[in-house]
Amino acid sequence: MRAFAEIDLGAIASNVRKIKSQTEAEVLAVVKADAYGHGLWPVANTAIEAGATWLGVALLEEAIKLRTHGLSAPIIAWLTPLHENFEEAINLNIDLSVPSLAHLRAISVAGEKLKTRPRVHIELDTGMTRGGLLLEWSEFLNEIKDAPVEVVGLWTHFARADEPESDFTEAQLAEFMERLDELNKVGINPKYIHTANSAAIQSRKVAHKNMVRLGISMYGLSPDINFMGSSEKLGLKPAMTLKSEIHLVKEVPANSAVGYGGTAKTKERTKLAIITLGYSDGIPRNTSDKAGVFVAGKRAPIIGRVSMDQFVVDLGIDSVAQSGDIAEVFGPNGYSIDEWASAAGTINYEIVTRISPRVPRIYR
């Protein structure tokens, strides 16, 4: 196989159990974006078996896929523009997020058509300044009292929970608790109160409330390697290993300009290997000359530009690697996902989620 991503479902289960041991709250497994590139259905199933009781996705179509795969756990979809098919969501027992008055009204209308009270989670903007109710809050309070919906949850999202030194998260939480109080005063008492993402789960017990939304750490990755430390430090096991078969190994003379633009030259006579993955597979092009692969027992750095379907690594003249060998692009032996992220000037979230559907996922 020319390239594949090995997904260690045992690692996912172990990460869920690890987080469960750190909280009394229910765990909602975040499986948006094809489970951060790891595969929606296998990851959702594994998370539930390991003790997560809820699933969370961004898009309605992701929630619908989970239901049509037969998952019966409660599911929330939190990024549903006004013209999404709310009736289908309600029919499939998918909880919806309410980030505005307009959403409340549209979801209420869909529920009335179906003669049922849609299950909703009210989203507050407490400082992220993205989704959620902000200046509409008083008007919303007035309307929610008599709205034909079942308020299952109240939630918010943190902007800076990965910064243990910052007091911004505490300010968001204080704001959140005030709004909860106001909601209670108009007679609405949501069963689920949820605020914490992975960073807050690992750094602020006070934010756990009775449900936590576990994303990146379930995949074994640190929410922020600078502020929170590596996967190992957090006791997490990265679940994705990316591998590729070497298309070709060949010797080239010193001073050969490699790839488009001839941006890099071999320093001496050496062996190069062509790796059958490129930017169309999700290898960031700006990692040229920075990251690399692990093959035949050692690291081989990228030389020259990453192309659409391939990139070239410098094996060194003594390498025993051969055409047809499997190279580890990222994984436990060579370059980590975090090293690729740093080479690309981005975060580990982006490295795993951008591995394209053209790369098959193999489950272990």
In whole angstroms, how close is the CB of 325 to ligand PLP at the nearest point? 34
Write phi, then psi, for 335 (nearest 5 degrees): -70, 135
Encode 201-239: b = buried (16+ Cβ within 10 Å), e = exposed: bbbbeebbbebbbbbbbbbbbbbbbebbeebeebebbbb
Give whichever of 30 and 302 is closer to ligand PLP, judged by the CB atom: 30
**CB contact set of 245 (below 8 Å; sequence gap of 6+):** 1, 2, 3, 276, 324, 325, 326, 327
Write phi, then psi, for 177 (nearest 5 degrees): -65, -35
Q: How far is CA 285 from CA 2, 98, 258, 319, in A?
A: 19, 38, 15, 25
Give whichever of 159 and 326 is closer to ligand PLP, judged by the CB atom: 159
In whole angstroms, how close is the CB of 25 to ligand PLP at the nearest point? 13
Q: 260 an active-site residue?
A: yes
Residues that bind ligand PLP (CB under 6 A): 30, 32, 78, 157, 197-199, 213-216, 223
**Strand 94-98 versus strand 240-252 pairing type:** unpaired
In whole angstroms, how close is the CB of 211 to ligand PLP at the nearest point? 11
Give whichever of 23 and 197 is closer to ligand PLP, judged by the CB atom: 197
Residue of this chain nearest to ligand PLP (CB atom):
215
Given the residues 32, 237, 243, 271, the one annotated as active site: 32
Give whichever of 32 and 38 is closer to ligand PLP, judged by the CB atom: 32
Give whichever of 157 and 271 is closer to ligand PLP, judged by the CB atom: 157
The whole-angstrom separation of Cα 291 and Cα 57 is 31
Side chain identity at residue 149, one-letter code: V
In whole angstroms, how close is the CB of 118 to ligand PLP at the nearest point? 19
Encode 70-103: b = buried (16+ Cβ within 10 Å), e = exposed: ebebbbbbbebeeebebbebbeeebbbbbbbbeb
Q: What's the alpha-carbon Rg for the chain, to the nearest Å? A: 24
Given the residues 113, 191, 233, 260, the one annotated as active site: 260
DSSP H stretches of helix in the chain: 9-20, 32-36, 40-49, 60-68, 86-91, 101-113, 137-144, 168-185, 198-203, 225-228, 337-344, 348-353
Give whichever of 288 and 353 is closer to ligand PLP, judged by the CB atom: 353
Residue positions annotated with a catalytic role = 32, 260
